[in-house]
A and B are shown apart, each in its own frame.
Chain A
Amino acid sequence: MAEKLIKEMGLPKSMANVFAARNITTAKEVLSLTEFDLMHLLDVGMAQVSSAVARISEVACPPYQTALSLMEQRVQKEEHGGHLPTDLKGLDEALCGGIPFGVLTELVGPAGIGKTQFCMKLSLLASLPAVYGGLNGHVIYIDVESKFSSRRYLKHALVISIADNIFPQKILNSNSFLRMIEIGVKSFPDLFKTTGVIQEMAGRILVLRPTSLSKFTESLQQIKESHLQRQVKLLVIDSMAAIISGSLAEISRIPIVVTNQVRSQTREEGCQYSFQVQRTEDPAGYDSHLVAALGINWAHAVTIRLVLEAKSGQRFIKLAKSPMSPPLAFPFNITSAGISLLSGIGTELKGAEINRIHYHGHSDIINFDGKGCSDK
């Protein structure tokens, strides 16, 4: 509504003309000025200015809904009540049914922990037909890092043979999608037996590999404008290196999943308020630990944050920020069918533990996996 032009807002003719004469055309310009400033600029009386501002505000302000109608609308119009099920039982329960539509969900974790695996699984699920728990839609997968350039997964013979026959060259280049198909074949063997399914699924996943921020913004804009918008049911950004506004998610009501990297932090920088008593440095506090790469400002902007970490050789997925669930941790591992939870019951977390990203024994897991998959 805020984009509407002043002359279309139904102001009295004389007022509309005065605004036009002063070259004030949008609500944004009017609302950035005080009433007093407007009086000076437009040279009209207080009463007229206030009634004009009131009118413009009324038109520019978004319409309201009651929370009840909001809920009914979600339940009736959207698949799975506005959630994309992750196929991970405990996590779905904690999130009231899966990754919610219309909000930003973030995955944070050290390299190799399984963020991309998780994204691929979600992409697959979103493109599956509804009977298999999917959203039956298109997926836009923005692969910023192009990190799946290794030919690690190519050795899976089954996948290759399928892929060789039906995939266009473009998709074959991105090995990550072979991995995704593998996850699909293992998780939904019935569905993938049917010929043509893989081609259709893969055709629904649109990969973008932007090389710069401006290209990235450009392609986001294109997605917004294109006819594809209505069919797209999931947007994955792997990984988030720059801030995008959540407005895209909101307008098209789809889940948006972004991944975030980690960086190491050497000391407890800025995690207390000035009124808090300085806690004595705990002896183990000298070694560096990991924090999410984008800072606190970004952390406020995401609605759901999932932390993937490794602790004593075990991988955990932690629900670190969510408006609908207490912070929970679930152990998981990565199998050929993708990410899977070892237990559906989460452990509740408290305090600093929620946002801490462990990586003890992490290298063991990665090395182990690497051995398993390296060319022999």
Chain B
Amino acid sequence: MYRWMELGRLRISTSQRGKLISAGYSTLSSFSSLTPSHLARELMIPEEEAAQILKAASDNSRLDNTDGGQAIVNGAQTAWEMLHEEQLFPRITTSCADLDNILGGGINCKEVTEIGGVPGIGKTQLGIQIAVNVQIPVGLGGLGGKAVYIDTEGSFMVERALQIAEASVSDMSEYNDLLRKNRACQVNTKPSDILENIYYFRVCSYTEQMALINYLEKFISEHKDVKVVIVDSVTFHFRQDFEDLALRTRLLSGMALKLMNLAKTFNLAVVIFNQVTTKYTEGSFQLALALGDSWSHSCTNRVILFWNGDERYAYIDKSPSLRSASAPFSVTGKGIRNSASNHKRIKLM
């Protein structure tokens, strides 16, 4: 039907496309069976270039065949395999059991999780907590990985990271004692080790943000033990003085795609933070996560942090596997923890 459009979809340069058309090859099938040397002669181009065109053509036809009913396709997995694999990978705990519960055990690898909330709700705190928790050793049910922390707002506080790391180390040794009551086994992790395993990038413009997301693939292939990428927040540079909204949408969706790709290829968790905005719906102003509706499709999971009366709550707004639920959490001196609503706290105000 749209035979002539096939060429347009090929990942080849404009001049190569022009040469193909002027040589009379208007459909894929018309030249895909040629040998590289034959095509090279026909188009009067070097053989390497011809081979490249043919490769692009075969890549393309392979994509077309995916719905052809063949079960074994490159890169595909059966649902059963996926289930099995998912169970193999531990999740990153948030240090708050209630929050872990509604997340199905914690932040999942291979997925992009978006977390949003009003200023001061604890987004950055949760980010630092995840960067610390990803380092819990495998022996203690963690991932034993490292973290990439991308800070666009400049709100990462290294003193706070140290506090959370210290609390995490003492929790770990406590847990370790419980686990091996008789054997004398020490946790040798020091808070400074935890800080050393957080790679911190400070991003000052959206250009840098785009560049960094592109570069991450290389960075992570050099640092294979990175198990979580945290972007705090994805929104900041895209909300300040951004006039070309079409460009914004395109850049954002490109970025989401790259992050998703990263999560899949390197088997790591991507956590991105978003800000909130007010939205006029059904006759009243309501809070909603920023960056608009098209962005809301780009993440696998979406968690909203909000104030419910006097307590902080997390709500699963979107997820393919989790049911929508909410759970309380609290921000303490040690980091994110279970809500302390059961214990009466002094309330003087």
Of chain B, the residue at the smallest CB distance from A45 is B13
> Chain B residues near A31 (CB, 8 Å)?
207, 210-211, 214
A327 to B195, CA, bound (A): 25
> Contact partner of A102 among B118, B154, B304, CB < 8 A?
B154
> Chain A residues near B154 (CB, 8 Å)?
102-104, 246, 249-250, 303
Please tell me if the beta carbons of B163 and A324 are within 8 angstroms of each other in the complex. yes
B96 CB–A CB distance under 8 Å:
no
- Residues 170-213 of chain B, each 1 if its beta carbon lies under 8 Å from chain A, else 0: 00000000000000000000001001111111111101101111
- Residues 327-353 of chain A, each 1 if its beta carbon lies under 8 Å from chain B, else 0: 101000000000000000001111111
> Chain A residues near B278 (CB, 8 Å)?
269-270, 295-296
> Chain A residues near B192 (CB, 8 Å)?
68
A53 to B214, CA, bound (A): 8
A59 to B246, CA, bound (A): 26
> Contact partner of B52 among A32, A47, A296, CB < 8 A?
A47
A211 CB–B CB distance under 8 Å:
no
A36 to B257, CA, bound (A): 15
- Residues 25-56 of chain A, each 1 if its beta carbon lies under 8 Å from chain B, else 0: 01110011010100110111111000001101
Interface SS majority for chain A: mixed
> Chain A residues near B199 (CB, 8 Å)?
64-66
B329 CB–A CB distance under 8 Å:
no
A327 to B153, CA, bound (A): 20
> Chain A residues near B307 (CB, 8 Å)?
351-352
Of chain A, the residue at the smallest CB distance from B132 is A67
Please tell me if the beta carbons of A347 and B348 are within 8 angstroms of each other in the complex. yes
Min CB distance, A139 to chain B, in Å? 21
A375 to B304, CA, bound (A): 54
A271 CB–B CB distance under 8 Å:
yes
Please tell me if the beta carbons of B208 and A62 are within 8 angstroms of each other in the complex. yes
A214 CB–B CB distance under 8 Å:
no
Please tell me if the beta carbons of A62 and B125 are within 8 angstroms of each other in the complex. no
> Chain A residues near B219 (CB, 8 Å)?
64
Please tell me if the beta carbons of B309 and A297 are within 8 angstroms of each other in the complex. no
Please tell me if the beta carbons of A350 and B195 are within 8 angstroms of each other in the complex. no
A61 CB–B CB distance under 8 Å:
yes
Stretch at the interface among A177-185, A193-201, A232-240, A272-280: A272-280
B71 CB–A CB distance under 8 Å:
no
> Chain B residues near A26 (CB, 8 Å)?
207
> Chain B residues near A362 (CB, 8 Å)?
none
> Contact partner of A62 among B153, B202, B218, B235, CB < 8 A?
B202
Of chain B, the residue at the smallest CB distance from A74 is B158
B22 CB–A CB distance under 8 Å:
no
B162 CB–A CB distance under 8 Å:
yes
Please tell me if the beta carbons of A61 and B13 are within 8 angstroms of each other in the complex. no
> Chain B residues near A320 (CB, 8 Å)?
120
Of chain A, the residue at the smallest CB distance from B278 is A270
B86 CB–A CB distance under 8 Å:
no
Please tell me if the beta carbons of B200 and A296 are within 8 angstroms of each other in the complex. no
Please tell me if the beta carbons of A323 and B124 are within 8 angstroms of each other in the complex. yes
> Contact partner of B16 among A45, A97, A353, CB < 8 A?
A45
Min CB distance, B176 to chain A, in Å? 23
Q: A71-B195, A100-B157, A250-B204 are in contact. Are A62 and B288 (CB under 8 A)?
A: no
> Chain B residues near A250 (CB, 8 Å)?
154, 202, 204
Of chain A, the residue at the smallest CB distance from B116 is A273
A1 to B201, CA, bound (A): 13
Please tell me if the beta carbons of A297 and B288 are within 8 angstroms of each other in the complex. no
Among B118, B148, B288, the most chain A Cβ lie within 10 Å of the Cβ of B118
B317 CB–A CB distance under 8 Å:
yes
> Contact partner of A324 among B13, B157, B286, CB < 8 A?
B157
Please tell me if the beta carbons of A300 and B233 are within 8 angstroms of each other in the complex. yes
Stretch at the interface among B28-36, B247-255, B292-300: B247-255
Please tell me if the beta carbons of B158 and A323 are within 8 angstroms of each other in the complex. no
Please tell me if the beta carbons of B15 and A43 are within 8 angstroms of each other in the complex. yes
- Residues 16-56 of chain B, each 1 if its beta carbon lies under 8 Å from chain A, else 0: 10000000000000000000000000000000010010001
Q: A40-B14, A45-B52, A96-B157 are in contact. Are A67 and B200 (CB under 8 A)?
A: yes
Please tell me if the beta carbons of B195 and A66 are within 8 angstroms of each other in the complex. yes
A2 to B215, CA, bound (A): 13
A52 to B12, CA, bound (A): 16
> Contact partner of B215 among A46, A58, A243, A349, CB < 8 A?
A58
Q: A66-B199, A67-B161, A270-B286 are in contact. Are A351 and B214 (CB under 8 A)?
A: no
Within 8 A of A (CB), among B222-264: 233, 235-236, 239-240, 247, 250-251, 254
> Contact partner of A34 among B211, B254, B332, CB < 8 A?
B254
A296 to B121, CA, bound (A): 13
Please tell me if the beta carbons of B211 and A297 are within 8 angstroms of each other in the complex. no
Please tell me if the beta carbons of B198 and A57 are within 8 angstroms of each other in the complex. no
> Chain A residues near B310 (CB, 8 Å)?
350-353
Instruction: Please list 11 pairs of residues, one from A and one from B, whose beta carbons are closer than 8 Å in the complex, sorted by A's number.
Output: A1-B208, A28-B205, A54-B214, A62-B201, A64-B219, A68-B195, A246-B153, A247-B205, A273-B304, A297-B275, A323-B128
Residues of chain A whose beta carbon lies under 8 Å from any beta carbon of chain B: 1-2, 26-28, 31-32, 34, 36, 39-40, 42-47, 53-54, 56-71, 74, 81, 96-97, 100, 102-104, 243, 245-247, 249-251, 269-276, 295-297, 299-303, 305, 320-324, 326-327, 329, 347-355
Residues of chain B whose beta carbon lies under 8 Å from any beta carbon of chain A: 11-16, 49, 52, 56, 118-120, 124-125, 128, 131, 148-149, 153-163, 192, 195-205, 207-208, 210-215, 218-219, 233, 235-236, 239-240, 247, 250-251, 254, 275-279, 281, 284-288, 304, 306-311, 315, 317, 324, 331-333, 345-349
User: Assuming A270-B279, A303-B153, what are 13 further A-B pairs, CB within 8 angstroms?
Assistant: A27-B207, A53-B214, A58-B218, A62-B208, A64-B201, A66-B199, A67-B158, A103-B155, A273-B287, A300-B233, A302-B119, A321-B120, A350-B311
